[in-house]
């Protein structure tokens, strides 16, 4: 008996069953409870302020029209699903493809310009729904990460808006989204450089003489008459002629710091690619290494919607068969 007891003493005892263990002296708190009363007070105050704001300023969901929210939970989920898998979109943009089918500028899109994504973009840009910027910024961040991969030292260059559009909206949508991502530290290893400026294209600098309205406009706004019409409804050739020569690199006391640096152009919507091609031309003329472009939405997604973005290829600037044409 003593021998048997000595053998048992050398063996490790099995762990106690937690279900059979006595109850703790202090009951465990729910995981969702607040560790500090101040955190709970701040959360309740924010909820109350949101309710009061909903009473003072009526707001509806930009997609389905539900009350009290700029974007309801169901539509926010659909928007995230639409932008969950960024894809390469340059194949459907004629201005970004050469005649032999080679890629002139690789582009990664966060999603297709349809359904909730299209409605949110339209409401954010034209209807003053600034609160939609949080969801759109997250979609843009996914596309940027897919395009850049692990690359470091990339410069993100937003496409500038025209002076007329800025006066109408009061902000530049792309700049606002990038600023939100910078504040949230969502773009590690990247910097944002406001390197491009809008100019009057050479083809429009010769203004028609028989135009009475033109004589009554201030000298600083004559160019806006030619640039404020937008590109909606224009074909490939008309878009290319409209934007050719309409951008230049920033100069003056604070010139653009893009010479020799890898840059990714950022825009909101991709249609024919004429705007991105013009931005790439202006950056290359300033000595930048244009690696590719990223957009929030593409109006002409590829036929295979499951095509993922080849991120590292865009960041390296080769884009498969990409040609660095001026």
Over range 200-225, report the average pLDDT. Answer: 51
Dig out the tokens for 165 from the structure. 């559009």
What CATH number has the domain bearing residue 124? Answer: 3.40.50
Question: What 3-state class would DSSP assign to 157?
Answer: strand
Which has the closest alpha carbon to 122: 297, 324, 310? Answer: 297
Q: What is the tens place of the pLDDT at every residue in 253-309?
A: 778 888 999 999 999 999 999 999 999 999 999 999 999 999 999 998 766 544 455
311 bridge partner residues: none
102 bridge partner residues: none
Q: Label residue 177 exposed, middle or buried (CB < 10 Å: 0-12, 13-18, 19+).
A: buried
Residue 90 domain boundaries: 85-316
Based on the structure, what is the number of domains in the chain? 1
Residue 56 in any domain: the answer is no
- Residue 60 per-residue DSSP state: B
Q: What is the tens place of the pLDDT at every residue in 225-249?
A: 444 445 554 444 555 566 677 788 8
Residue 49 in any domain: the answer is no
Question: Residue 66 and residue 269: Cα distance in Å, rounded?
Answer: 26
Residue 71 in any domain: the answer is no
Residue 7 in any domain: the answer is no
Residue 46 in any domain: the answer is no
Residue 145 in any domain: the answer is yes
Question: Residue 283 and residue 256: Cα distance in Å, rounded?
Answer: 9
Question: Residue 30 and residue 36: Cα distance in Å, rounded?
Answer: 14
What does the pLDDT read at residue 213? 44
What does the pLDDT read at residue 287? 93
Dig out the tokens for 92 from the structure. 């459907």
Strands, E assignment, 84-168: 87-88, 107-112, 154-158
The count of other CB atoms within 10 Å of the CB of residue 129 is 21
What does the pLDDT read at residue 165? 80
pLDDT bin (cut points 50, 70, 90) of residue 135 is very high
Over range 138-146, report the average pLDDT. Answer: 94
Look over the chain and give the mean of its residue pLDDT values, rounded to a whole number.
77
């Amino acid at each position: 008996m003593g021998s048997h007891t000595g053998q048992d003493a050398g063996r490790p005892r099995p762990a106690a069953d937690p279900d059979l263990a006595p109850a703790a002296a202090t009951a465990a708190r729910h995981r969702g409870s607040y560790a500090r009363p101040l955190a709970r007070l701040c959360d309740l105050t924010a909820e109350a302020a949101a309710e009061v704001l909903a009473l003072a300023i009526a707001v509806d969901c930009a997609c389905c029209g539900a009350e009290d929210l700029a974007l309801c939970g169901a539509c926010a989920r659909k928007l995230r699903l639409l932008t969950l898998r960024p894809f390469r979109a340059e194949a459907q943009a004629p201005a970004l493809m050469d005649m032999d089918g080679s890629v002139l500028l690789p582009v990664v899109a966060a999603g297709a310009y349809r359904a909730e994504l299209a409605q949110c973009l339209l409401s954010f840009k034209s209807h003053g729904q600034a609160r939609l910027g949080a969801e759109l910024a997250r979609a843009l961040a996914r596309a940027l990460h897919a395009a850049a991969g692990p690359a470091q030292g990339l410069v993100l260059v937003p496409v500038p808006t025209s002076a007329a559009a800025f006066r109408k909206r009061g902000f530049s949508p792309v700049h606002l989204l990038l600023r939100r991502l910078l504040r949230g530290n969502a773009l590690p290893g990247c910097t944002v450089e406001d390197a491009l400026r809008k100019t009057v294209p050479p083809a429009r600098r010769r203004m028609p003489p028989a135009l009475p309205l033109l004589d009554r406009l201030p000298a600083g706004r004559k160019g806006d008459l030619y640039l404020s019409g937008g590109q909606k409804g224009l074909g490939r050739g008309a878009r290319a002629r409209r934007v050719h020569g309409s951008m230049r690199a920033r100069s003056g006391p604070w010139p653009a710091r893009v010479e020799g640096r890898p840059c990714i152009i950022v825009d909101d919507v991709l249609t024919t690619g004429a705007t991105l091609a013009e931005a790439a031309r202006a950056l290359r003329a300033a000595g930048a290494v244009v690696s590719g472009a990223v957009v929030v939405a593409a109006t002409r997604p590829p036929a295979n919607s499951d095509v993922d973005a080849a991120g590292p290829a865009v960041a390296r600037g080769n884009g498969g068969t990409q040609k660095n044409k001026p």
